């Protein structure tokens, strides 16, 4: 059994692998990390390049593009390890990046998952949008991070250089115990991509487990991946999956109210996208996401029932879900950075 398996999911990412895989190998193998690349049936030269230039990498070839969520499930089924690290192919790691994460997990058995501090590859003095220094939700299900709220990304001045409990850790670089991953059922493959790591972390938190950001570990993330920001497909997946995540994980006491508010806020967002000229495609994506959520919600009824019947944490008692609207704080109150939210 591996102590820690670092698993990079790849789909036509030959260029990214060439650029960033060398840092993963240089700074992970020395600390007993075993590196895997799970390939989602790429049609570029990824596999040939890996075999020729990176023979120390273990390759898992999947028969089709399963997406982020199910792709990881299929790959991790084939790996025997105590800890998994789900790592994007566009991440540059740093010297001994694994050590703080491993030490924290070894010393805190109650912790199911953690992440490093995520900084931007383009501007290494700034946080990166996807995960920054750990993730949270407001009461209506909108995600934000220490270091990033909506489009406001902070410079890293050491203001979050302490371990902090989080609701969710970024899928760009997520360390998770294998036993917790499988006990929770893994990532929800039906999501395909986007919000799947938040959903998984939330389920683990409801089950009484915890998660942390460990800023002594630092990595740099390009971000955007195969679907850059502003792409209607990305907009669609984010809205559809976020609503589905709320349906699965919110308590009976919370669900009806939150969904009524989200109906209004989602359509407000859609019209704002149209008026501000982002594109007709984004507007249609939000409308389609809500329609498709209504159609497939019944497919998640059993999941919802199981999560609610087995939850160990009382309603309103999960650290990391804030009892305010981040939209109101950000746009009405001008609270643009995480440290200002409680003031």
Of 125, 133, 211, the C-alpha closest to 175 is 211
Confidence of residue 225 (pLDDT cuts 50, 70, 90): very low
Mean pLDDT of 216-240: 83
Q: Does residue 155 lie in a domain region?
A: yes
Residue 133 half-sphere exposure, CB side, CA atoms within 13 Å?
22
Q: Which residue has the higher pLDDT, 220 or 281?
A: 220
H or E stretch at 147: none
Residue 305 has pLDDT above 90, yes or no: yes
Residues above pLDDT 70, as percent of the chain: 97
Confidence of residue 277 (pLDDT cuts 50, 70, 90): low
CA distance 295 to 283: 19
Residues in the chain: 343
Determine the structural domain holding residue 252 and report its residue range: 232-312
Residue 226 has pLDDT above 80, yes or no: no
Q: Does residue 336 lie in a domain region?
A: no
CATH number of the domain within which 92 lies? 3.90.550.10
pLDDT given at position 227: 46
Structure tokens that stand for 245 in this block: 């995540």
| Residues 259 and 167 occupy one common structural domain | no
Residue 190 has pLDDT above 80, yes or no: yes
Angle between helices 46-53 and 14-28 (to 10 degrees): 30
Mean pLDDT of 193-206: 97
pLDDT given at position 229: 55
| Residues 200 and 254 occupy one common structural domain | no
| Residues 64 and 209 occupy one common structural domain | yes
CA distance 155 to 323: 26
| Residues 270 and 200 occupy one common structural domain | no
| Residues 85 and 210 occupy one common structural domain | yes
pLDDT given at position 18: 96
pLDDT given at position 223: 83
Q: Which of 168-172, 249-253, 268-272 has the lowest mean pLDDT?
A: 268-272
pLDDT given at position 262: 97
Under DSSP, the state recorded for 126 is B
| Residues 207 and 241 occupy one common structural domain | no
| Residues 79 and 180 occupy one common structural domain | yes
Q: What is the mean pLDDT of the chain?
A: 94
Residue 322 has pLDDT above 80, yes or no: yes
- What is the total count of domains within the chain? 2
Let me know: does 60 contact 75? Beta carbons within 8 Å. Answer: yes
Where a domain ends, among 195, 221, 247? 221
pLDDT given at position 316: 83
pLDDT given at position 274: 81
| Residues 204 and 261 occupy one common structural domain | no
Inter-CA distances, 113 with 108, 167, 170, 204, 257, Å: 10, 10, 10, 9, 30
| Residues 33 and 156 occupy one common structural domain | yes
List 221's β-bridge partners, or say none: 91, 120
Residue 304 has pLDDT above 80, yes or no: yes
| Residues 155 and 53 occupy one common structural domain | yes
Where a domain ends, among 188, 221, 254? 221
For 129-149, write each residue's pLDDT tens digit.
999 999 999 999 999 999 999
Q: What is the pTM of this model?
A: 0.94
| Residues 236 and 113 occupy one common structural domain | no
For 3-33, write each residue's pLDDT tens digit.
999 999 999 999 999 999 999 999 998 888 9
């Amino acid at each position: 059994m591996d102590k820690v398996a670092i698993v990079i999911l790849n789909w036509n990412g030959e260029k990214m692998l060439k650029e960033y895989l060398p840092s993963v190998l240089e700074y992970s193998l020395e600390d007993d990390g075993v590196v895997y690349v799970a390939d989602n049936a790429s049609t570029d030269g990824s596999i040939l390049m890996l075999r020729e230039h990176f023979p120390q990498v273990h390759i898992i070839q999947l028969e089709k593009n399963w997406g982020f969520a199910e792709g990881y499930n299929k790959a991790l089924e084939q790996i025997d390890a105590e800890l998994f690290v789900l790592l994007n192919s566009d991440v540059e790691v740093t010297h001994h990046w694994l050590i703080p994460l491993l030490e924290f997990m070894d010393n805190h058995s109650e912790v199911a998952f953690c992440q490093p501090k995520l900084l931007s590859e383009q501007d290494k003095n700034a946080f990166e949008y996807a995960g920054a220094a750990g993730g949270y939700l407001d009461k209506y299900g909108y995600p934000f991070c220490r270091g990033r709220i909506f489009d406001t990304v902070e410079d890293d001045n050491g203001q979050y250089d302490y371990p902090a409990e989080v609701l969710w850790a970024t899928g760009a670089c997520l360390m998770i115990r294998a036993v917790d991953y499988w006990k929770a059922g893994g990532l929800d493959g039906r999501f395909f991509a986007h919000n799947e790591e938040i959903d998984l972390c939330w389920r683990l938190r409801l089950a009484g487990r915890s998660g942390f950001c460990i800023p002594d570990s630092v990595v740099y993330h390009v971000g955007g991946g195969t679907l850059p920001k502003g792409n209607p497909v990305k907009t669609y997946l984010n809205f559809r999956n976020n609503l589905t995540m709320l349906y699965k994980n919110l308590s009976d006491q919370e669900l009806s109210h939150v969904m009524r508010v989200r109906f209004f806020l989602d359509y407000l967002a859609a019209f704002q996208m149209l008026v501000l000229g982002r594109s007709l495609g984004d507007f249609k994506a939000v409308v389609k996401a809500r329609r498709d959520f209504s159609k497939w919600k019944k497919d998640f009824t059993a999941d919802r029932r199981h999560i609610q019947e087995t939850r160990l944490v009382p309603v309103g008692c999960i650290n990391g879900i804030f009892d305010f609207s981040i939209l109101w704080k950000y746009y009405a109150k001008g609270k643009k950075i995480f440290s200002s939210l409680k003031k």
